[in-house]
Amino acid sequence: MDRALELARRGPAHGPNPRVGCVLLAGGVPDGSPARVLGEGWHRGAGTAHAEVAALADAAARGHDVRGATAVVTLEPCAHTGRTGPCAHALADAGVAHVVHAVEDPNPAAAGGAAALRARGVRVTSGVRAAEAAELLRVWATAAARGTPYVTLKTATSLDGRVAARDGTSRWVTGPQARAHAHAVRAAVDAVAVTTGTVLADDPALTARRPDGSLVDHQPLRVVVGRRDVPAAARLRGAGGPLLHVRSHAVADLLAAVAAREVRHLLVEGGPALATALLAADAVDELHAYLAPVVLGAGPAAVGDLGVSTLAAAPRLRTARVERLGDDVLLVARREPAPAVAPAAATAPIEGDS
């Protein structure tokens, strides 16, 4: 299973499908003889072969017979036909005798593979390396289970929580290492969102770039929230990912619009109005707080009034990690467990942006 997880990590973090790895073994479990690898595979993205089918193809290319083999998979094999056929049927048709998977598929449309395998006489074992697989699949599994994207909110602030100085200057609060890290995050998500206010004030490109300024291969969907038009000359209309304009002030409309585009991971970068609305709606799963060692004393804050009147009522996240980036610090905090349903307060308006 460790090898299957290693293979799974080769797949893209972005896209509507999970990162899955599969190893086909002869011997070993359950007869105790030395295990021998027959084939390996991983999912390379939507529209390509799933990990199980890729492993079967690899075994065939090596000239190995997989009848009676054990398939070790990081995720329960799917039982539905989408862009590709059901993996549970492919394994059973190939004569695989035992399937070991780490976690169950949380996607209602694809779940049921274990039952389908058992119905075909295939032995199924689950829960091996479950914690490791769940962490690898955390973003995708959260979005697949509840039907709305996993939301990561990014802030880049001074030590006193300001996103800009009194005169509005904000380039750059954080240093080059922090900005390079933020671009790496953009390259791993499906979409990045800002408000029309941010577009008009900062004219961002919302592209994922290398340190030399060139564009990486994967560019996220660029999402603008608000009713005002995006200027014809805006950098958002230049090279990069496609542009989606959500002409609404409702968090629910934003989440629905990006979910309809198969967005599993939404990165929100600005501005304070959108950050406040998402937090008020309890719609943020993860917070990336970039902190620069500078004190401004005045200027706009990263988050507005959330209606918290006492400390005990403030929402608390769990610190997942802290990382130094040059002179800056990144704090990653998460809600755990992530909510299994879309936020009930997702009708919260995005105030202050029209």
CB within 8 Å of 206: residues ≥ 6 apart: 186, 192, 194, 220, 222, 236, 240, 241, 269
Where is 334: in which H helix or E strand? strand 328-334
What count of other Cβ atoms lies within 10 Å of the Cβ of residue 108? 11
CA-to-CA distance for 46 and 115, rounded, in angstroms?
24
What count of other Cβ atoms lies within 10 Å of the Cβ of residue 263? 26
At 260, list the tokens. 């309809």
Termini Cα distance of the chain: 51
Query: Catalytic: 52?
Result: yes
What 3-state class would DSSP assign to 250?
A: strand
Active-site residue (options: 52, 76, 269, 286): 52
Closest CA relative to residue 294, chosen from 176, 154, 157 = 157
Pairing of strands 98-103, 265-268: unpaired
CB within 8 Å of 69: residues ≥ 6 apart: 24, 25, 26, 38, 59, 95, 96, 97, 98
Task: Point out the residues that are catalytic.
Answer: 52
